Structure 1
Amino acid sequence: MTWQEQRLPGEHPAVRSGKVGVLLVNLGTPDAASPTAVKRYLAEFLSDPRVIEIPQIAWQPILRGIILNVRPRKSAAAYRKVWTEHGSPLAAITREQALRLGERLAPDGVLVDYAMRYGNPSIASRLSAMKEEGCERILLAPLYPQYCAATTATAVDKAADSLRKMRWQPTLRTLPPYHDDPLYLNALAQDLSQQLDVLPFAPEVLLLSFHGMPERTLHQGDPYHCHCRKTARLLGQMLHRPELRIQTTFQSRFGPAKWLEPATDATLKAEAAQGTRRLAVAAPGFSADCVETLEELAIAGREQFEEAGGEDYAVLSCLNAGEAGMAMLEGLARRELAGWI
């Protein structure tokens, strides 16, 4: 029994303490591919003022009166196309990433768990569970290489909200954005090169498709657009494929506002119309395959490209829980855990 576990008669039961943890955080997913589950998920997601930067008094009537009565059915249909026996691909892959990272860090006594910013398991529930397991020091690791207020910042906000309710708070560190980190770029270059080499065709164009954001966020000071551009530029240099024309695009537009451009869907159609017949797409901003890559890019994107005259089309997998991606996550985590392990 350690000194932390010892207690005198009349004292409260011993509290576990002294451990170090890592909490991987991704965006989130509905609990099922049903309109009801998707509606619940979208209500939480689209009510976040970091995501929709419109005064809530104006936005909530639109959200509750229109969007949540229309969009869930369409989104549920997209989720059903990619749903697995283990549930949502994003949740299943993030769970596997946590498991494999836990195996890599187990010799150092580090506990690894995962959470979703929206949906389950929640950040609050996992921070609480890790604290109960004795984690006094936790590395919060948002799995977003490129910093964005609507992703990284809101995950940190939610963690802070959770700590606010705790009398005994664990100490938190936050994994910084790693858009230009050699560990990330090397993992991407290695993984994408292997995938490109085994394609049954030689692409003329490689689209690097990042999740879009309203253009106003760039003018308001969000570094996301610059981070995406820098990732694409450095990755293109590392791939070193002069025969391959690389373009950066942005996907998943939502609502009437002007979004970052060029748009992925419009670019797919334009490339095919201009004579590109062989094209590949990679999504380096996504740490795990999800509905945006598996349905929006792989299914809808193929239809857009082929209907406009394209022929050969492929969407490359994200790093997921593959060897290159896990080596990267271990390297990033160990660096941020310095002094704790």
Structure 2
Amino acid sequence: MLPEMIRPLRLATDCHVIDWSISQLSEQISDKESAIARADGLVAAIGNFDGVHCGHKKLIDKAVSHGGGLVPSVITFQPHPRRYFKPDLPGFELVDNLDKMALLSDAGARCIIRLQFDDAMRQTTATDFVSRILPALGVRALYAGTDFAFGNQRGGGMAMMQEQGREYGIDAQAVELVSSHDEIISSSRIRAAIARADMAEAAQYLGRPYVISGIVAHGEKRGRTIGFPTANLLLGDYLVPPLGVYAISAALPDAPHQPIMHGVANIGIRPTVNGEMVRLEANLFDIDLDLYDRRINVYCLDFIRPEQKFENFDKLRHQIAQDVETAKSFHAKQN
């Protein structure tokens, strides 16, 4: 795995994040929030940016290279509309909100506007979205995927956006989200790769390995008793890959100069100790750091084996030792 693909995920210092809702429609974005009010307007890439994959980066590249004195921006939705309409749906996200902001800024966005997806947004017609919301945000040019749909009951598409946008001084362009080999890149395709533990294919379309981030929680410290201490993360709304053991690398957003750490992780319920909640337990090689209550980015690089239940801790310890050697061999080949 290319070293530059694995790094601490941090929001760029010159990127502004603005939360906006329909209730602010009559308000202007303030100077305090961003430099937009002093600029000629925005050129924005718009979408859910689920995973911030290579197709999304191509879209953002269009906004960044647009020029004309417009601020290169991203307009996205929070929460994901799928979560709004199906609140009980199992975890499906390919990236959490903090990493999403970091990746969008890394792609070149200098302003990120998060539109609150609530009932008022749901009821907004496609015409109102073009005629009221986009002008209120200062949008002068807009890029979206060819399948982008918006407005109540997804009533608007890019043909409508282009036609009606011209009436409000908005130049809208549709972009095909394809790879350099003309393959269609989609979040569903990435989810399918992760679902079959094909982490290499997922990384190919994401432009980085699948990363699970969170605050390191205090666990039961059983790993220490068998010689394999772990950093534990709850998976929240992440898409859970097949339960099992993975070769991983990890980075600390609050310590960007800390060398990338390598290790092995179990993603599962820990059946040997009758666990129930899915969590990620990462054993980092040759690391002596206090990671509790710190945010960590854990990159899932390669699937080693499915999770299994062991008869006793001795057999568990023996298998973990084998997993460690397998992961070390994987990392050695990458370097």
TM-score (norm 2): 0.30
TM-score (norm 1): 0.29
Task: For CA contacts below 8 A with separation 6 or more, give which structure has more relative contact order.
Answer: 1
